[in-house]
Amino acid sequence: MAMLWLHIIQYSGFSLAQLTNALLIYLILTRSGKLFGSYRYVMIVFAVCSMIYSIVEVFTEAVIHIKGPVFIVFMDNAWLTRTGWGNEVTTLYCASFALVISLLAVQFFYRYVVTCKPILSNQIEGKRLTLLFIPCLVCFVLWFELVYFGMANTVEKQEYMREELKVHYNVDSRNLAFIAPMYWSTGNNGEKKWNILDCIGSLGCAAIITVCLSTIIFCAWNIYSFLKKSQSQMSPKTLEMNRQFFRTLTFQTLFPFFTLYSQVGLLLLLPVFEVYVAGMANSASACVAVYPCLEPLIAIFCIKPFRRTVMCDKRRKVNSCTTDGFSAHRPL
């Protein structure tokens, strides 16, 4: 029954993610005008990648389980497992997570440069905007390699999880496509034998999460401090614009922390302390499945032109032109 509910959440998340992200892209193309400048392209790339991620997620039908020093992410799609590409697709699912969180960090970095360092904004306009996405590709490839080689499907892991997965999910670990870090194994005398590759894989993934989260916190705090100091110099229209920005920024900072960073961070951390949570680890899988469909709603309902379009509000649109050094192309 738990597996059924998990897959219902995954398929529902996939369907809604396609709908909400497509709606956001439509609003960006038709309602942003010159208000966002090049930031509209950053938002579109993020929305498209969220749609792709939800497709990979629903094909994988990922199930997560923790026992002892192991957490396992296995594919519940029997057809893909039989094709022989199951391990690669499961690894792609994990790497797609890195792409999403790194793109989120890029959004905040763009906002930081345009708001706090306008003298550098020309460096990320036009064709140079593509340079912002290079770190995202690096994170994606690095995460893929860390998972594929550091958390590989091995006979030792199959045997260790064999009875556990049979009892909880009625599956045979020997016939599953999965990735799983096993931090240590137990020798004949009961001593721990640390698995270096698995530890490096998990530490590398944790480092990517830390870098992305630190980037978001740094950019968010500096944007908040800059705008707070400049409020007395803003016109009423500029102040209203930045209130919308603050709401969007706040929710876009807090929401992924609880649905992405903390969930995946716990998956990496709990096996170190041998915390037995078994199938409850699937709460992380459910949260990751739901995130791509809910994140666009933050922008849709926090940004006034988008909200008015969705709510069919026909009132006169607020003029987006600003004064006192705040140009209209700056993102909300």
**Is the pLDDT score of 323 beyond 60?**
no
The pLDDT of 103-114, averaged and rounded, is 89
Residue 196 included in any domain: yes
Q: What is the pLDDT of residue 328?
A: 38
Cα-to-chain-centroid distance, residue 76: 22
Residue 317 included in any domain: no
Q: Model confidence at 35, in pLDDT bands (50, 70, 90)?
A: low
Domain count, the chain: 1
* Cα radius of gyration (the chain): 22
Residue 225 included in any domain: yes
**Is the pLDDT score of 329 beyond 80?**
no
Question: What pTM does this model have?
Answer: 0.85
Q: Which of 20-29, 199-208, 215-224 has the lowest mean pLDDT?
A: 215-224
Q: Model confidence at 139, in pLDDT bands (50, 70, 90)?
A: very high
Give bridge partners of residue 194 from the DSSP assignment: 184
Q: Model confidence at 259, in pLDDT bands (50, 70, 90)?
A: confident
- Most confident stretch, 22-31, 81-90, 232-241: 22-31
The pLDDT of 102-111, averaged and rounded, is 90
**Tokens standing for residue 296:** 């666009």
Q: Model confidence at 246, in pLDDT bands (50, 70, 90)?
A: low
Q: What is the pLDDT of residue 215?
A: 93
Residue 329 included in any domain: no
List the alpha helices (DSSP H) in the chain: 2-31, 39-60, 78-83, 86-116, 134-150, 155-169, 196-229, 236-256, 262-269, 282-302, 304-310
**Is the pLDDT score of 138 beyond 80?**
yes
Residue 328 included in any domain: no
The enclosing domain of 230 has a CATH number of: 1.20.1070.10
* Backbone torsions φ then ψ of 322, nearest 5 degrees: -130, 170
pLDDT, tens only, 284-313? 888 888 989 999 999 898 888 898 899 887
Q: Which of 26-30, 85-89, 202-206, 229-233 has the lowest mean pLDDT?
A: 229-233
Residue 46 included in any domain: yes
pLDDT, tens only, 172-182? 999 999 999 99
Residue 315 included in any domain: no
Residue 13 included in any domain: yes
Q: How far apart are CA 203 and CA 17, in angstroms?
A: 30
Q: Which of 121-130, 271-280, 319-328 has the lowest mean pLDDT?
A: 319-328
The pLDDT of 89-114, averaged and rounded, is 90
- Domain region containing 279: 2-310
CA distances from 30 to 26, 196, 230 (A): 6, 51, 30
**Is the pLDDT score of 113 beyond 60?**
yes
324: Cβ–Cβ under 8 A, 6 or more apart, which residues? 233, 234, 235, 238
Cα-to-chain-centroid distance, residue 61: 17
Q: How far apart are CA 242 and CA 276, in angstroms?
A: 45
